[in-house]
Copies of this chain bind each other. A is one copy, B any other.
Amino acid sequence: MSLTNIYLSSRRRVLLSLAALALSACAQMAPVGDPLPSWKDGAAKDAIVQFVRKTTDAGSPQFVPPAERIATFDQDGTLWVEQPLYAQVMFALDRVKDVVKAQPAMANEEPYKSVVTGDRAAMAQFTEQDIFKIVVATQAGTTLEEFRGIVKAWAATAKHPKYQRPYTELVYQPMLEAMKYLRANGYRTYIVTGGGQEFVRALAEAVYGVPPEQVVGTMLKTDYAMRDGVPTMMNAPGLFFVNDKATKPVGINMIIGRRPQVAFGNSDGDQQMLEWTTAGTGARLGMLVLHDDAQREYAYGPANGLPDSKVGTFPQVLYDEAKRKGWTVISMKNDWKRIFAFE
């Protein structure tokens, strides 16, 4: 081989490897197969795919600039199981026992007393106020970091009574796929939950790929304080903001400052979020998960011909509004091939 040949050949190798680099970058952008494999073909799956196409195709009249691609998801009953009780309530009922151990005076005080003594009849009568009191008691007095650690430790060991699996496995696989598909198309996915913002932040990144700055939730008061000379953020007793029903748009504006293009919910707690989202100009996507699969999950709520549920109810009036406004109702039974990854 002449020197010229060596020169040419090595130059060609560089070109080839650069070309390979460029091609592999292209390959990463290309769609690979069905992005929603756990969804049956039908209106619900179509609604998502068509919405993404028309809002991301640069030639479409309904194109949405990447910066404005915001998708909001309720959590309980929309992303994971909410029956028989919200996961955070399960957490709080477990944790209140530890709190009472550290502060024994609480043992004689309601609603903590009923929990500690395991008085199921009394617990069944708990008001929303009682539940909030317990939730606040299990968070107040911890630092931000401590509380997130406590939640993670609980989630690593606690098991759901029906499935006997960690709550973090009771995530709807079709919804994970929808979130990933939206993200792959430039949408930022936010969780907008009535649950505690700090509770959800502790788990959302690992479970959904949703970072802390994309969690809008119910907020406890927090206090900045020096603790042994160290600047510390403490969870304080007292509710600061309840993110539910008509305050979901308020929470969304507070954290995001934009009207979402997409909203997924499953109950009357999500009604105003869907209304506000879908009343925006251009293409909007509103979807509601209907719990109609007693076999694989749960069946509840009037929209499913069943009585009101204390946990995440889907009233007939919301169903009627969905039909009127062109929101898609997702039947867990008929639209989802599988519900959980472990199936």
Q: Is A201 an interface residue (CB 8 A)?
A: yes
Bound-state Cα–Cα, A215 to B256, Å: 9
Q: Return the 4 tightest CB-CB contacts between A and B, nearest first.
A: A212-B257, A18-B19, A231-B275, A18-B22
**Does residue A255 face the partner (Cβ distance < 8 Å to B)?**
yes
Q: Which chain B positions have C-beta within 8 A of A212?
A: 256-258
Residues of B near A215 (CB, < 8 A) are 257
A276 lies within 8 A of B224 (CB): yes
Work out how many copies of this chain go into the complex: 2
- A216–chain B nearest beta-carbon distance, Å: 10
Does the CB pair B246–A224 fall under 8 Å? yes
Q: How large is the interface on A (under 10, 10 to 19, 20 to 34, 35 or more residues)?
A: 35 or more
Alpha-carbon separation in the docked complex, A201 to B256 (Å): 11
Which of B16, B201, B249 is within 8 Å of A15, CB to CB?
B16
From the candidates B201, B230, B250, name the one contacting A222 in the complex (CB within 8 A): B250
0 or 1 for each of A283-304: is its CB under 8 Å from B? (1 = yes): 0000000000000000000000
Question: What are 21 A-B contacts defined by CB distance under 8 Å?
Answer: A12-B15, A14-B19, A18-B18, A18-B19, A18-B22, A21-B22, A22-B22, A25-B25, A197-B254, A197-B257, A201-B257, A211-B257, A212-B258, A213-B213, A213-B258, A224-B247, A224-B249, A224-B250, A224-B276, A230-B279, A231-B279
Distance between Cα atoms of A50 and B23 in the complex (Å): 35
Chain B residues closer than 8 Å to A222, beta-carbon distance: 250, 253-254
Nearest-CB residue, chain B, relative to A16: B15
CB A222 to nearest CB in B, in angstroms, measures: 5
Contact call B144/A253, Cβ cutoff below 8 A? yes
A215 vs B255: C-alpha distance in the bound complex, in angstroms? 9
Q: How far is the CB of A332 from chain B (nearest CB, A)?
A: 27
